[in-house]
Structure 1
Amino acid sequence: MSKRAFPLRDVYGLLEPGPVVLLSTSHRGRDNVMTLSWHVMMEFEPPKVGCVVSNRNHSFSLLRGSKQCAINIPTAELTDAVVGCGNTSGRDGDKFDAFGLTRVAGTAVDVPLVRECYANLECRVIDTRFVKAYNFFVLEVLRARVDRTVADPRTLHHRGWGAFMQAGPTVRTPSRMR
């Protein structure tokens, strides 16, 4: 197998494991939704997720202030909204309205969920020790809801620099995980 040198700035696109999500936040009457792909599962039960939210993003101050959020998992049908939310700032206007996203009240958190998304995970911040150095928040998922009518969601996966790929068919194998 012949291999070539690969730019270090593009390594992210090789390792990015999870779907692009829409992170919704709210604090002091200000709602926002941002595109996020830098996240990682950290624990099974209770489910814990780590994510990086740049301190330059409007969502950073909302998340830090309220200590709660929702991870909304879109499918490929929402590509335009995902890209739009990722390329604009909530400081400049309401991204829910701008990109045709419907707010739904959360039940475990005081944050709007995105109705159009395949899944909604209501989360609270449980660890901020790495926020100052890395903008890394640890979240606990308090409640999860999925659209049961979608068997194989075609989620988006960011490859970097405006390139996405879609999830394909599910491949099932025997598992010993308990």
Structure 2
Amino acid sequence: MAFEEVAIERALTFIEPGPVVLVTTFDGVKNNVMTITWTMAMDFEQHIVITTGPWNYSFETLLHTRECAVCVPAADLLNTVVQIGMVSGTDTDKFKTFGLTALVSKYVKAPLIAECLACLECSVIDYIESYGFFVLQVRRVLVDQGRCERRLIHAVGDGCFVLDGETVSRRGQMMTKLPPGL
């Protein structure tokens, strides 16, 4: 088997991050939602990271309000997720345009999205400007247990996506390594 060198820009297509998510904010006047393809779990203390910057309309709201909801869409929302990422909240009411149902959160003012598989209410606990990392503390998790489509969407980084496939459990082998509650 022979390796072939490819463009360095392809590196990230092999090291894809967590699932594509829809991050909602509320600026005191209106709700907004943005597609984020760079997500990462940091630890077992419910800290996660999303990456964004001033090119996203919700960026300033995240900095100012220090809260959001991270909503996890399933594979059946792929086209909507891509379309949300192609327009700006500056001039588009994304909830109305894409037929999203905003639900009231318990701990943050940002709405939950009823069409998603799961929603995490989060507080911003740190912002690492040099990388555009928002470190979030998850405060509440809601899951639509009755939702049939449960496959997550993963961005490869080149306009292509991978949808989750078969789930294989090794819980029995790993029980001593799993934190309480999992």
Smaller-chain TM-score range? over 0.9
Are the equivalent residues in 1 in contact too, given 2:23–2:36 (CA < 8 A)?
yes
> Segments of 4+ in structure 1 off by > 6 A?
none
Do residues 39 (structure 1) and 70 (structure 2) align? no
Q: How much has 1:151 moved relative to structure 2?
A: 7.3
CA deviation vs aligned residue, 1:2-34 (integer Å, no higher than 9, x gap): 221122222222111311100111112121101
Are the equivalent residues in 1 in contact too, given 2:16–2:157 (CA < 8 A)?
no
Are the equivalent residues in 1 in contact too, given 2:101–2:115 (CA < 8 A)?
yes
CA deviation vs aligned residue, 1:97-144 (integer Å, no higher than 9, x gap): 11111100111111111100000000000112x12x222111000000
Aligned to 1:54: 53
- The residue correspondences of 1:126-165 to structure 2 (distance < 5 A) are 126-128=125-127, 130-131=128-129, 133-150=130-147, 153-165=150-162
Aligned to 1:69: 68
Task: Name which of structure 1's ranges 9-18 and 154-163 shifts more when overlaid on structure 2.
Answer: 9-18
Aligned to 1:3: 3
TM-score, normalised by the number of residues in structure 1: 0.93
Aligned to 2:24: 24
Are the equivalent residues in 2 in contact too, given 1:53–1:59 (CA < 8 A)?
no
Alpha-carbon distance in structure 1 between the residues aligned to 2:27 and 2:120: 18
For residue 40 of structure 1, what is the amino acid of its counterpart? M
Q: How much has 1:152 moved relative to structure 2?
A: 7.2
Q: How much has 1:150 moved relative to structure 2?
A: 4.2
Alpha-carbon distance in structure 2 between the residues aligned to 1:80 and 1:107: 29
Aligned to 1:171: 168
TM-score, normalised by the number of residues in structure 2: 0.91
Number of residues of Structure 1 aligned to a counterpart in Structure 2: 175
Aligned to 2:12: 12
Aligned to 2:117: 118
Task: Name which of structure 1's ranges 1-10 and 139-148 shifts more when overlaid on structure 2.
Answer: 1-10
Do residues 87 (structure 1) and 86 (structure 2) align? yes
Alpha-carbon distance in structure 1 between the residues aligned to 2:149 and 2:74: 10
Residue identity over aligned pairs, in percent, reads 39
Task: Name which of structure 1's ranges 86-95 and 113-122 shifts more when overlaid on structure 2.
Answer: 86-95
Alpha-carbon distance in structure 1 between the residues aligned to 2:30 and 2:61: 8
SS in 2 for 1:160: coil
Are the equivalent residues in 2 in contact too, given 1:81–1:100 (CA < 8 A)?
no
SS in 1 for 2:9: helix
Are the equivalent residues in 1 in contact too, given 2:26–2:32 (CA < 8 A)?
yes
For residue 43 of structure 1, what is the amino acid of its counterpart? D
For residue 167 of structure 1, what is the amino acid of its counterpart? D
Are the equivalent residues in 2 in contact too, given 1:13–1:160 (CA < 8 A)?
yes
Alpha-carbon distance in structure 2 between the residues aligned to 1:151 and 1:117: 11
